[in-house]
C-alpha cells in the first residue's frame, strides 16, 4: 500500500485527474492515499497546519457520486484531485492564521483562488504552514512549529510557502497553493526541487483581499512539473473587479501554449545578485552555467549579460511594511502577534499609507527600467537563491534585524521581480554535493509567462527532474 500511495501522489495532478476521469482510481482512493502519507510522514516534516480529513473524504465521495450519476458529463480539469492551500488563503469553515496565533474565528467563504480550485473539481485536503504573515524565507512559526526540508529534515525548505513546498516534494499531495511577495514560491521551490512560477502581478485573484502586500504579492501553485503548473494556471488565472491589479489576459490556454515550441530565444544569463553585498554559492553558479549549456544545445542564443539592476530597497520596504501592517490590523488578537512581527509594525510607522503609495509608484518606474533589459533579450537566467538551504532554526531567538540579515541571501535574486511585477520561475537544476536540490531562475518580460513556461518545459524534457524523490522517514 505504501508503494501504491507513493506512486499515486508523485504522479502529479494532471495524471491524477486523468486517472479519475478514466476510472482507474476514485477520488476517495486518491484522498485516502494522501491522508495515509500525511499521517505517516508529516509529523516529522511539519507541512500541514491543519488536515481536513473528514471534509476531504466527504468532498471526494460527493465527486465520485456525481461521476456515477452523470458518467458522460464533462468533469473539471482537477476533478477529484486533493490539493493543499497555504494558510494565508481563506478556506470556508477554517481559521486563516497567517502563520500565527492572532486569529481564531473560521472564515465564512473561500478565497477566490480556492473557489476556482473547487470549481475545477479539486478537493482541499488541508492548510499548510508558513511564517507569520509570510515575512521570512524560512517556514518557522512560534505557534505552528517548523517545516523541514524532505531532502534533509535538518534543513529549511525555504519560505514563506515552505509548508506547501514540503507537502508536494514529499508526495503528500500532487500540488499546493502558495503566495509570493518576495520570492515565497520560488525560494521553497528551489530548496525542495519543485517548479514554482511567480506569475505576472494581477494574474491570479487575491480576493477577498484587494491585494497581497500591495503590488508585491501574487498567488500561485508549487508543482512537480511544468505541465502541472500550466494546468493549475488555466484554472487560477483571472481576477475580479475587487482586485486592485489585473494582468493583461493570456490569449491562449496555458497547457495549450506548451504545445508550441518557443523557437530560438535570446537568453541572457548572470550570477550578479540584485542585492549588493551578497555572493552566490559556487554550486548555484555552476548550476546556472550547466543550464546555459543545456539551453545552447536546445538552440537558444544564450549570452552572458551584466544587468544594471535598479535599487528596489525603498519600494520593497514600504510595501513589505505596509502589507504586514494591513494584515495585522485585520487579525482578532494583535496582542498575540510574534515579537518579530511587532518589531516590523514598529518599523512600519516610518511608512504611512502615503509612503506605501509612493513606493508602489516608484516600483512602476523601476519596472520600466527593468523592461529595458528585455529589449536585447527575451528571458533572463540567474540563480534563485544565493545560499544553500540553512539548518532549521534560522529564526530561533532572532530579532527583526537578525532575521532580515539572514533573509538577504535568500531573496537576493527574487525580490526585485516582485517590485517590478515581472513573471519569474524557479526551475530544478539537479542536486548539490549536500544532496539538496539546485535550481535556476527564469525571468520573463511583463505578461510573458508563456515564454518562461515553454523554456522551462524544454529544460524539463532535456533533463527530467521528477523521477528523483526524497527518502522519507516516518516519525
Closest CA to 96 of 82, 113, 79, 72: 113
Beta bridge partners of 218: 180
User: Which one, of 67, 168, 60, lies nearest residue 123 by Cα?
Assistant: 60
Q: Where are the beta strands (DSSP E) in 123-238?
A: 123-128, 140-141, 145-146, 175-180, 195-198, 218-223
| Residue 225 among the catalytic residues | no
List, in order, residues 6 or more apart from 128 with CB less than 8 Å away.
47, 48, 49, 84, 85, 86, 87, 147, 161, 163, 164, 166, 167, 176, 178
Q: Is 272 part of the annotated catalytic residue set?
A: no
**Could you say which of 19, 86, 205, 426 is catalytic?**
86
CA distances 152 to 34, 205, 223, 395, 437, Å, are 21, 34, 19, 18, 10
**Catalytic annotation, pick one of 27, 111, 141, 160:** 160
451 catalytic per annotation? no
Return all residues near 5 (Cβ < 8 A) that are at least 6 apart.
33, 34, 36, 37
Q: Report how far residue 221's alpha carbon sits from residue 228's, in angstroms, rounded to the nearest whole number.
A: 9
Long-range contacts of 64-69 (CB under 8 A, 24+ apart): 64/26, 64/27, 64/28, 67/20
- Asked whether the beta carbons of 469 and 456 are under 8 A apart, the reply is no
Q: Are strands 218-223 and 379-383 parallel, antiparallel or unpaired?
A: unpaired
User: Which residues are CB-contacts of 449 (< 8 A; sequence separation ≥ 6)?
Assistant: 197, 199, 200, 203, 233, 250, 254, 423
Task: Determine the Cα–Cα distance for residues 13 and 289; give it in Å rounded to an integer.
Answer: 31
C-alpha 459/C-alpha 258 separation (Å) is 13
Q: What b/e readout covers 372-402, taking b as 16+ CB neighbours within 10 angstroms? A: ebbeebbbbbbbbbbbbbbebebbeebebee
Which candidate in 27, 111, 141, 184 is catalytic? 184
418 near 317, Cβ under 8 Å? no
Distance between CA atoms of 137 and 179, rounded to whole angstroms?
12
Which residues are identified as catalytic?
86, 160, 184
Amino acid at each position: 500500500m505504501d508503494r501504491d500511495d507513493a506512486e499515486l501522489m508523485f504522479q502529479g495532478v494532471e495524471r491524477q485527474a486523468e486517472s479519475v476521469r478514466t476510472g482507474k482510481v476514485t477520488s476517495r482512493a486518491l484522498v485516502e492515499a494522501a491522508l495515509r502519507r500525511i499521517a505517516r510522514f508529516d509529523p516529522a516534516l511539519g507541512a500541514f497546519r491543519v488536515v481536513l480529513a473528514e471534509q476531504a473524504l466527504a468532498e471526494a465521495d460527493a465527486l465520485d457520486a456525481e461521476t456515477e450519476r452523470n458518467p458522460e458529463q464533462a468533469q473539471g480539469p482537477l476533478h477529484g484531485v486533493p490539493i493543499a492551500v497555504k494558510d494565508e488563503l481563506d478556506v470556508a469553515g477554517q481559521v486563516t492564521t497567517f502563520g500565527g496565533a492572532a486569529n481564531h474565528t473560521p472564515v465564512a467563504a473561500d478565497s477566490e483562488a480556492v473557489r476556482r480550485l473547487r470549481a475545477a473539481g479539486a478537493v482541499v485536503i488541508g492548510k499548510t504552514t508558513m511564517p507569520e504573515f509570510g515575512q521570512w524565507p524560512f517556514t518557522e512559526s512560534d505557534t505552528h512549529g517548523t517545516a523541514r526540508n524532505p531532502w534533509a529534515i535538518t534543513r529549511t525548505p525555504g519560505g514563506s510557502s515552505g509548508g506547501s513546498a514540503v507537502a508536494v516534494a514529499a508526495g503528500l499531495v500532487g500540488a499546493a497553493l502558495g503566495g509570493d511577495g518576495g520570492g515565497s514560491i520560488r525560494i521553497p521551490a528551489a530548496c525542495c526541487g519543485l517548479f514554482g512560477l511567480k506569475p505576472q502581478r494581477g494574474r491570479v485573484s487575491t480576493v477577498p483581499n484587494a491585494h497581497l502586500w500591495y503590488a508585491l504579492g501574487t498567488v500561485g501553485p508549487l508543482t512537480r512539473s511544468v505541465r502541472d503548473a500550466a494546468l493549475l494556471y488555466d484554472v487560477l488565472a483571472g481576477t475580479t473587479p475587487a482586485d486592485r491589479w489585473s494582468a493583461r489576459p493570456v490569449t491562449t490556454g496555458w497547457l495549450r501554449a506548451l504545445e508550441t515550441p518557443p523557437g530560438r530565444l535570446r537568453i541572457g544569463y548572470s550570477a550578479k545578485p540584485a542585492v549588493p553585498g551578497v555572493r552566490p554559492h559556487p554550486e548555484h553558479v555552476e548550476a546556472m552555467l550547466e543550464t546555459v549549456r543545456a539551453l545552447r544545445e536546445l538552440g537558444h542564443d544564450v549570452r552572458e549579460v551584466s544587468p544594471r539592476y535598479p535599487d528596489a530597497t525603498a519600494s520593497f520596504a514600504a510595501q513589505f511594511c505596509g502589507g504586514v501592517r494591513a494584515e495585522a490590523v485585520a487579525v482578532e488578537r494583535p496582542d498575540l502577534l510574534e515579537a518579530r512581527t511587532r518589531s516590523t509594525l514598529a518599523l512600519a510607522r516610518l511608512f504611512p499609507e502615503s509612503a506605501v503609495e509612493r513606493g508602489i509608484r516608484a516600483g512602476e518606474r523601476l519596472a520600466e527600467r527593468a523592461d529595458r533589459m528585455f529589449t536585447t533579450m527575451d528571458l533572463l537566467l540567474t540563480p534563485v537563491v544565493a545560499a544553500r538551504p540553512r539548518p532549521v532554526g534560522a529564526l530561533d531567538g532572532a530579532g527583526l534585524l537578525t532575521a532580515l540579515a539572514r533573509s538577504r541571501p535568500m531573496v537576493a535574486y527574487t525580490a526585485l521581480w516582485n517590485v517590478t511585477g515581472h513573471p519569474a520561475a524557479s526551475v530544478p537544476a539537479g542536486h548539490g554535493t549536500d544532496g539538496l536540490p539546485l535550481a535556476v531562475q527564469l525571468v520573463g518580460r511583463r505578461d510573458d509567462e508563456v515564454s518562461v513556461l515553454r523554456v522551462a518545459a524544454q529544460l524539463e524534457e532535456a533533463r527530467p527532474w521528477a523521477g528523483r524523490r526524497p527518502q522519507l522517514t516516518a516519525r
